[in-house]
Structure 1
Amino acid sequence: MKKFFKTIAVIILSLLIFFVGIFKYRQYHANQIAVPKAATAVIKLSIDEIYKSLALNMLFNPDYYLKSDPDKKTDSITGDFRHGLKIPASVYFYTMKNQPETALFSRFEIKQLRNFQTFIHNKFGFKILKKQNEITFAGSGNVFFCYDANHVAVVVSGEARNFDAVLLDILKAKNFQQIGVGKFKSIKESTRHIAYSDAKNDVTIDFNSGEINISADFANHSIIPAVKPFHRKFNQESTASAWLNADFAKLPNKKIQLKSSTLDRDSLLKYYKGYLDFEWTNTTTQTDSIVTYEYNDDFEKTAKVTLQKRSVPNLMLNIKADRNLLINYLNEKQVINLDSGTIRNTVFPLYKVFLGGHQNQLQLTTQKKNKADNMLIPSNAFFSLNVDLVKINQSMRIPGLTQHLKLLKYMDIKGRSMHDRQIRLDGKITFVNDQVNALYQIVKDF
C-alpha cells in the first residue's frame, strides 16, 4: 500500500512539473510578441493565468461548475467554438497613434483557416468586404478583420472609420517592436489577469474567489492630496459613502453647465477648503405640492393644491468651504433659492435638496435639518468610495441591470498618494457567492 501511494505521488508530481513546464513555455513564447511602434497603450489578457485560477477554483467547487442551468438554452455558438486561431498564453490589444482612442487592435496567428472563416462568417455574421492580393477584408458594425492564410489583424472600435491601411500594416507586422522594448516593458512581466499600460498610467485586474481586485497607478497633475488625510465618521448602515480629502491644482478655468445655470470652476475652488464627503443612508420622506386644475360652478378654471408624500434617498453632501461666500455665489448664479433654503428645481428636479451646515461647512441634504456626525477619523487614504451593492439593488430597480447586480455584494475603493505626481487606487468588488471565481460567475450569468 505504501508503495502504491508513493507511485501515485510520483505520478502527480510528474504531471505538475509537466504542466508547469508547458505554462512556462507558453508564457515565454507569448512574451516574444511584437507590437506596433505607434502603439500608445497596451492591454494584456493573461489567458493561461485565468485558466489556472479557474482550474484551481473548480477543484474546490466542482458542484457549481458541473451543474446545468435549466433556464438557459445551449445554442449552436456554444456547441461549436472552433475559431481556428492559435491562442497564446497572453493576448495583447493596443491603441494606435492617429487612430480613435476607442479603437483596439490586435494580431493573431491562424491555425486553421477554414475554421476561422466559418467562425467569423457563420457564427457572427461578419461579411467579406473585399479581397486583394490573397488578403481578405471582412467585418460588420464596429469589428473589422484583415487576414491571409497565416495571420489576422482585428480592430474593435466605437468610432466608424476606414481601418484598411492600418490593419494591413498590422497584418504584415510593419514597424513592429518587441513588447519588452520601450515604454511597455513593465507589462511584459505582469501575471495579472488583465493589465493595462500607457506612458503614464497602469491598471491591473484579477478575478479571484468571490471578488474582483483592481489596482491602478495614475499620473497626477490636478489634485493635491492631504498630507495627513482624515474623514468624517459615517453611519454603518449607509448604502453608499465617499470622501475626498484633497485640494485641486490651478488649471485653465472651465465652465460647468447645470441646466439653466453656468458656474466657473475657479470660483467654486476659491471657496472650497480641501474636503468633501457624500453619504446615502436609507430613505427619507418628502412632501410635494401637486397642482391640478378644475372648473367651479361658474365654469372658472381654479387651481387645487394637494400634498403628496413620497420616499426618496436620504442623501447628504458635506463640503468644507467658506459657506456664506459660496452660498452668495450660488445664489447669484441662480443655483439656490435663499427664501426656501433649497437647490432650485430647475437645477435638480428629482428631489428637494435643502441647505444646511455652519460657517466652515456647506451641507446639502434631502432631509431637512439632517445632522451629520462631525467626528473626524485619521486615514492613510485621501479618497474612498464604499457602496453596499445589495442595498443598491434592492432600492433601485433598473430593467436589464438588476438581474446582474444580484451577484454583487460590496464595492470598496481607496485612493492613496504615492508621491507628488502619482496616485494609486486599490479597489475590491465582492460577490454574494464568495467561493466561486468572480469571472466564471459573471460569464455564467450572461
Structure 2
Amino acid sequence: MNKKKIIVPLFLLLAVSVYFIAFHKDKSLQYIPDNADTVILIDTKKLTGQYLFSLATHPLKWSGSKAKSKTSGSLKDSGIRIPDFLQIFHIKDTKFSEWYSVLELKDSQKLITYLKKQNFVAKGNNRFQKEQFFVMIEGNYCIAGSSDLAFETLQKKLLQNSVHHVWEADRFIQNTLGSISFISGQKIRNFSIELNEDEIEIKNNSDIQTFNTIASKLQKGNQFLELELDKENIRNFTRFFNKSIADSSQVVSLKATANLQQINDTIVTYEYDDNFNEVEKKTVQKITQPSYMINIQSNNPEKTWKYFQSKMWINAENQFTAIPFQPNEIKRNNKGVVIKSTRKPVSLSPQLKENYMLIRNNALLYSSLKTLNNTEKKIISDIDYVLYGNKAQNYWVKIKANKGELPLILRW
C-alpha cells in the first residue's frame, strides 16, 4: 500500500483533532439569566494553553505541580465538565458580593467526593458550603456561588425551564483570556482581561499610554491609598453599593489619602471574685486602622452637610459615622466638606487632576486579615499595587504583582 495514502489521511485526522481540542469553542452561553447585569467570561482553552506554555518554559515548576495535584485533587477529575467559556454572573438588584456560575457535570458523585476533600460541609439537599462559597448539585448540573440566596431562582430559570435567552460569547469577548461585561437593557459594555507575566490588566480600549501617564505620576508616593474621582466616577463606584451620593448630595469631586497603622486597643471586661465583687479586667490587643483625610468638593456645601445629617452620618461630636474607623472629625468649608482621622492625621497627596484610585500593598493589611487561609494571604502579599484609571470613556484597572521567578499563572 502506498505510504502517502496512509500518511495524508492520518495528518488530516490529527489536524482536525488538534483544532477541536485546542481551538474549536462552543460559543453559546446557556447559563446566564436574563436578569444578569454583569457577566465575567473566562476562555478556558486559552487559559489552559497559556498555562501549559508557561509550565513548559519553567521546568522548576514541574515536580511541584505534580505533588500538589496528588495531595489536593485536580479540578479536571472533580466530575465537572469544563466549559469552553466559564460563565460567572451577577444578578440585578442583589448585593455586590453575590456572584454565581452554573456548570454541567459528568459525574455528580465525583464532585461530592472532591468537595469533601476540599473541606466543604454538607448542608443537606445536595448543598455544600465552605466559608463564603456555596455549591448545590441538581441532577447533571451544579450551581456555585458566593451566596446561596438565588439558588432556587436559578434552578427554576436555567435548569428546569428550557425556554430562556441564550447569549453568544462574541457579544462579550474578543480573542482575550477573559472579559467583564456590564449589561444595561440592550447595551453591553465590554472590558477585556489579560493575564501577563506579573500583572493582570482590565481595560475597554487599546490605548494604554494615557493610563501609563497616570501611573507614572504616582510612582513617588508611598501612601496605602490615594484617589481622585469626579462626579461620574463617584456615581459609578457608589452604584455598586446601591447609593446615590453624587446625585443627592451635590458632591462633584472627591480626593482622599490614607495610611495604615497598628494601634493598641484596650478591651475592658468584668469578672467576679470569690466574694462576688465585680473586678475590672483590661486586655490590650494590637489592631490595624487607617489614618486618612478626605476632601469632598460640592456645588452646595450646606446641602451636602444636610444630606449627611439626614442619613445620620454626623453625630453630636461632629464625627462622620459612615466610616467605621474612629475617631474622626468632619468639618464644612466654603468649598465642601473635609473628613479626617484624629488619632494620627495625614496630609493629602498633591492634586493630579486625573481620575484614579491607587491601593498599595502593606504588610499590616494582610497580616490583619485573620479569616484568610494561607493561600489567600500569599496571593495578597504577592500584590504590589492595584490601580484604577479613567479618561473620558476609557477605563483601566491594573493588578500589579511583585517580580518573581515564576509568572502569575504558575504562582497563583
Q: Same fold (TM over 0.5)?
A: yes
Residues 1:21 and 1:291: Cα distance change in structure 2 (over 3 Å): closer
**Structural RMSD (CA):** 5.3
Matched, 1:241 2:217: no
Q: In structure 2, which of residues 113, 116, 124 is the aligned counterpart of residue 122 of structure 1?
A: 113
**Alpha-carbon separation, structure 1, partners of 2:33 and 2:291:** 50
SS in 2 for 1:376: coil
**Alpha-carbon separation, structure 2, partners of 1:22 and 1:197:** 35
Residues 1:153 and 1:319: Cα distance change in structure 2 (over 3 Å): same
**Alpha-carbon separation, structure 2, partners of 1:292 and 1:155:** 45
Matched, 1:35 2:30: yes
User: Identity over aligned residues, as a percent?
Assistant: 13
Matched, 1:407 2:396: no
SS in 2 for 1:122: helix
Residues 1:326 and 1:125: Cα distance change in structure 2 (over 3 Å): closer
| TM-score of the pair, normalised by structure 2 | 0.62
Q: CA deviation at 1:212?
A: 1.9
**Alpha-carbon separation, structure 1, partners of 2:403 and 2:64:** 16
Matched, 1:314 2:316: no
Query: Which string of whole-angstrom CA distances, capped at 9 and with x for unpartnered residues, describes residues 85-124 of structure 1?
Result: 6645444567899x9985533446x5xxxxx254134333
**Alpha-carbon separation, structure 2, partners of 1:385 and 1:236:** 13
Residues 1:106 and 1:76: Cα distance change in structure 2 (over 3 Å): closer
Query: Which string of whole-angstrom CA distances, capped at 9 and with x for unpartnered residues, describes residues 123-174 of structure 1?
Result: 3369xxxxxxxxxxx8334534455xxxx4433352242766556557xxx4
Residues 1:433 and 1:361: Cα distance change in structure 2 (over 3 Å): same
Matched, 1:193 2:178: yes
Quick one: which amino acid aligns to residue 428 of structure 1? K
Residues 1:47 and 1:233: Cα distance change in structure 2 (over 3 Å): closer
Contact preservation (8 Å) 1:207, 1:437:
no
Query: Which string of whole-angstrom CA distances, capped at 9 and with x for unpartnered residues, describes residues 277-300 of structure 1?
Result: 1111354989x999999xxxxxxx
Contact preservation (8 Å) 1:386, 1:412:
yes
**Alpha-carbon separation, structure 2, partners of 1:85 and 1:249:** 40
Q: CA deviation at 1:241?
A: 1.2
Contact preservation (8 Å) 2:23, 2:45:
no
- Tell me the equivalent position of 1:215: 203
Residues 1:48 and 1:195: Cα distance change in structure 2 (over 3 Å): farther
- Tell me the equivalent position of 1:77: 73
**Alpha-carbon separation, structure 1, partners of 2:287 and 2:77:** 55
SS in 2 for 1:351: coil
Contact preservation (8 Å) 1:234, 1:241:
no
Residues 1:268 and 1:197: Cα distance change in structure 2 (over 3 Å): closer
Q: In structure 2, which of residues 152, 159, 167 is the aligned counterpart of residue 161 of structure 1?
A: 152
Contact preservation (8 Å) 1:211, 1:438:
yes
SS in 2 for 1:377: coil
**Alpha-carbon separation, structure 2, partners of 1:291 and 1:96:** 44
**Alpha-carbon separation, structure 1, partners of 2:258 and 2:63:** 40
SS in 2 for 1:161: helix
Contact preservation (8 Å) 1:27, 1:89:
no
Work out the number of aligned pairs and report it: 347
Quick one: which amino acid aligns to residue 389 of structure 1? N
Gaps in structure 2 of 5+ consecutive residues? 1-10, 118-124, 129-133, 206-213, 271-285
Structure with larger Rg: 1
Contact preservation (8 Å) 1:26, 1:88:
no
Residues 1:268 and 1:33: Cα distance change in structure 2 (over 3 Å): closer
Residues 1:275 and 1:249: Cα distance change in structure 2 (over 3 Å): closer
Residues 1:20 and 1:90: Cα distance change in structure 2 (over 3 Å): farther
Q: CA deviation at 1:349?
A: 6.3
Residues 1:27 and 1:311: Cα distance change in structure 2 (over 3 Å): closer
**Alpha-carbon separation, structure 2, partners of 1:233 and 1:325:** 33
**Alpha-carbon separation, structure 2, partners of 1:375 and 1:25:** 55
The equivalences for 1:84-163 within 5 A come to: 87=82, 89-92=84-87, 102-107=99-104, 110=106, 116-124=107-115, 139-141=126-128, 142-147=134-139, 152-156=140-144, 158-159=148-149, 160-161=151-152
